[in-house]
Amino acid sequence: MTSPDSFSDRPVVISCGEPSGIGPEVAARAWAKLAGELPVVWLGDPRHLPRDIPHVVIDRMDHALSAGKDALPVIAHPFMADAVPGQPDPANAQGVIDVIARGVAMVRAGQACALTTAPIHKKALKDGADFAYPGHTEYLAALADIDDVVMMLASDQLRVVPATIHIALDQVPTALTPAHLRRVIEITAAGLQRQFGIAKPRLAIAGLNPHAGEGGTMGRQECDWMIPLIRDMQAEGYDLIGPLPADTMFHAAARARYDAAIAMYHDQALIPIKTLDFDRGVNVTLGLPFIRTSPDHGTAFDIAGQNIANPSSMIEAIRLAYKMAQS
């Protein structure tokens, strides 16, 4: 590695997430796999880490480099209560929220190169601290004081973006406006250029309706505004194809034609990537003024504390965050 002052030596900071879930254990297992490969630091209460994982509390980020080979470097953030696996404590809700904000501040101050977030449990945060956001992504956007962000799910086999995220299915047609879809396309293309090094991203746009509306017989959105929007953006220089039937755009030959797919709603995007690469999918937030990734799974309360959770997605999330930072 280069000198401690270089950008490549700044660690990825891992926020602890819900301490009663699998977040602390998969973060610890990820460090055990990545030690010596890239620098990481865990932000949370050391009491919540697995007892068999060596850790060392540090007070300076550059100490993560020297400490990180033999023990997990930890920036201590005390919580109100211990963590009981599978049983979120309302007393810890504010701590979870504050750790996310502190992690963002560390990255924006240049102390870390990127943020990887462990899973949160939204109901636990709402019950314990009246958390006002639908999810992690929306809270991060509020911390950055921006309105428009995009959630991308990425793996070696597929990158996919849901144009609408955490809303009920019957709300999707209203939320999915030409202006909104245009903004999603713009942010996705810019993120692929800036953070993935793809000079001219190829984007595939899914239809909203079965068979992409089949000429208006199964829905009018494709004919009425999606096709005109895509043609307008093609004329502006965007490399777009679609709207495509969602049931035929995710097989191997179809995926070879694009760098990322834009789906119209949550499950249309997440079902294919979780089917193709369930254990290694990574959540990436595009449009933020900092790099954020997370594993593509939840708190898994049913197996928390048993040391059987698969750390693969967390490992890939940290690796991708570091790689994006170097771009």
Going by pLDDT thresholds of 50, 70 and 90, the confidence category of residue 1 is very low
Between residues 310 and 70, which one has the greater pLDDT? 310
Going by pLDDT thresholds of 50, 70 and 90, the confidence category of residue 68 is low
- What is the mean pLDDT of the segment spanning 160-177? 94
Q: Indicate if the pLDDT at residue 64 is higher than 70.
A: no
- What is the mean pLDDT of the segment spanning 61-72? 70
Residue-level pLDDT at 4: 39
Instruction: Point out the least confidently predicted range of 18-22, 278-282, 290-294.
Output: 278-282
Q: Indicate if the pLDDT at residue 227 is higher than 90.
A: yes
Instruction: Point out the least confidently predicted range of 113-117, 165-169, 190-194, 264-268.
Output: 165-169
Residue-level pLDDT at 326: 87
Q: Indicate if the pLDDT at residue 273 is higher than 80.
A: yes
23: left (phi over 0), alpha (psi -120 to 50) or beta: alpha
The pTM for the full model equals 0.89
Domains detected in the chain: 1-147+285-327 (3.40.718.10), 157-276 (3.40.718.10)
Residue-level pLDDT at 29: 94
- What is the mean pLDDT of the segment spanning 12-28? 97
